[in-house]
Amino acid sequence: MSKSKTAEASIAELVREIAEHDYRYYVLADPKVSDREYDALLSELQTLEREHPELVRPNSPSQRVAGEATKLFPPAVHAVPMLSLANTYNRDEVIEFDTRVQGILERAPNFGYMCELKFDGVAMSLLYVNGTLQRGSTRGDGTTGDDVTPNVRTIRAIPLEPRTASPYANESFEVRGEVFMSLEGFRKMNREREEAGEQPFANPRNSTAGTLKTLDSHEVAKRPLTFVAYHLRFDDPKIEASEKLDTQAKRIEALKQLGFPVSKEVRVVNSIEAVMEFAMHWQEARESLPFEIDGAVVKVNALREQETLGSVAKSPRWAIAYKFEAKQAHTRLNAITLQVGRMGTITPVAELEPVALTGITIRRATLHNADEIERKDIRVGDMVIIERGGEVIPKVVGVDATKRPKHSKPFYFPTVCPECESTLVRPEGEVNWYCENPECPAQILARLTHFASRGALDIEGLGEQSVQQFVEVGLLSSVADIYDLHTHSDELLALDRMGEKKVSNLLEGIDQSKKQPPARLLFGLGVRHVGINVAKLLIKAFGSIDALRDATEEAIDAVPSVGPEIASSVFTFFRIQKNLDILDRLRKAGLPLHETEPRVAKNLSNEFFVGKTFVLTGTLPTLTREEASAMIEQRGGKVSGSVSKKTSYVLAGEEAGSKLKKAEELGVAIISESDLLRECS
């Protein structure tokens, strides 16, 4: 047998084996191999495919993220319209639905309802031709949606090819279902965004919708999208009419056989009372689910009866969605206070009578901005309605005007800062008010806390409480003062809860922060609109903070992914003398303002490290990221913040995030802390 034929057989077997492991992991939640074993299989496949590019299959697991970013989404016409379900929040309307169904069907012998959960995600159509995924498209207007196939292919819960165990594996068919994010995945993604200085997403559903419309599928692959299937239709009329597929329940089983994830919480019942029992149960128990739902779906189970009932306008007669009320509570608004952010942004906050909602006690909720307060006519003393969805900060969504106290007065947004009494300003075209006094105590506290945070200079021992204490006694008023604290040891020791060991650790943490790269310093300076990723882009483009300081606004705007708003903010920041003075003090303190090549320590370099690029992700068992980075750089390696095809190794620890997933998709070798220590020994 030729080498080519041997490789072809090996590739086919690896594709089959990896697909089986994907099925067990993403559909059954019952993996049979470790992540490392799975990665080894994928790496072996990618090696063979590189050696034999002519044998690469379009639906190979290695091809889940491939090609350039999409410039637009082509239209996708649905062969059968994707109808929207009629919705109701009213039990009586569900009973009326049942009455209409019974009247048309005259209580057919096989009558029954399939009850399903209504996943709070984005509807998706998947077309398979001869057993191969050809297209993934959104609902759109029901007739025409967006072809988002490159993004759909990154979702590992969606099989690129059905399981061969199904008798329908090689047929042409359409699967419909919901793309969504688990709550755990959503929270983890937001934690990573906040650590990177990026704005967290509001809720899982919105972030799912936004992700599917992202033009770069490599970015989509970083997001924790998953899928649940609930509809199956075959092109072959004989299969479509088969008695083996004549109910919704049988189609769900067929979807499972094909390798699609389906909801475990489905039930076939024979009365509308049982339907409502199902709906009421999940309205109360939805907090126990690892994902968001917003209702229950009721479908006539028999497909022949569905055909008899037909459709009206844009909704089928044979199904209805019973929507759950939002997670809300009513409580008294005792006061409206104003929070001052590190950029001077003024955020109104509702101070509430404590109330339980979704398992926690709510005492405060955001009021967003002055316009929202005026639009909803929210007043102190009102009985307000608060809502908490998608694990975001509670918000006030309305007022029960019938319980408004007599003589209540509209709330007028203050004109002075609550912390420093400076006059507030509202820039044209913006909804927020700002305190523009850089000496505002609240801004100073927030800026110092941000500078020392994990995502910025990562100064151990300098958390919010310590910062506040040092500000109150006059030891800190700017970030540059942090590097003078070593001259105030006696004053630090005299403070409450500041023993010798704590002071020693703090000063050591401050000294260690001088080793952080300039991008972390730029992020720590708190330039408006500059998160850690933008900071890295800017340092990569200009090479140093000094060069960025001297750059024109046009030059900053020319950096890819920056844009005019960020460019204006950066340019303005470096035109303020106080900021320049702080920068000079930081330079004199020894902080790195220039990107420098790592120096190779004598007798430490070896071929495992020299010239190689490493990316770190997750929490290592014994080493900090800084310690691991230092070990790599001392031996001639380079540490990068993002994974690409040029990455040599990804050093992964516990709770590794999107970087690990991208490494898997690109075929980058993944090592553990023990691997690193072995190479360093």
299, 318 contact by CB (below 8 A):
yes
Contacts of 640 (CB under 8 A, 6+ apart): 613, 614, 615, 647
Say how far apart CA 538 and CA 589 lie, in whole Å.
23
Residue 118 annotated in active site: yes
128, 344 contact by CB (below 8 A):
no
Helix%, strand%, coil% for the chain, nearest 5:
40, 20, 40
- Using DSSP bridges, classify how beta strands 144-146 and 267-269 pair: parallel, antiparallel or unpaired: unpaired
Among 674, 671, 620, 615, residue whose Cα is nearest residue 646 = 615
Say how far apart CA 333 and CA 551 lie, in whole Å.
49
Strands (E), 388-476: 395-399, 424-425, 433-435
| Chain mean position to CA 24 | 24
DSSP H or E run through 373: helix 370-376
Q: Which of 3, 5, 71, 118 is catalytic?
A: 118
Contacts of 551 (CB under 8 A, 6+ apart): 542, 571
- Using DSSP bridges, classify how beta strands 649-652 and 669-671 pair: parallel, antiparallel or unpaired: parallel
Phi-psi region of 200 (alpha: psi -120 to 50; beta: other; left: phi over 0): beta
List, as one string, the DSSP characters of 543-610. SBHHHHHH--HHHHHTSTTT-HHHHHHHHHHTT-HHHHHHHHHHHHHT---B--PPPPPTTT--TTTT
The C-alpha angle with vertex 561 and arms to 557 and 566, in degrees rounded to 5, equals 50
List the catalytic residues: 118
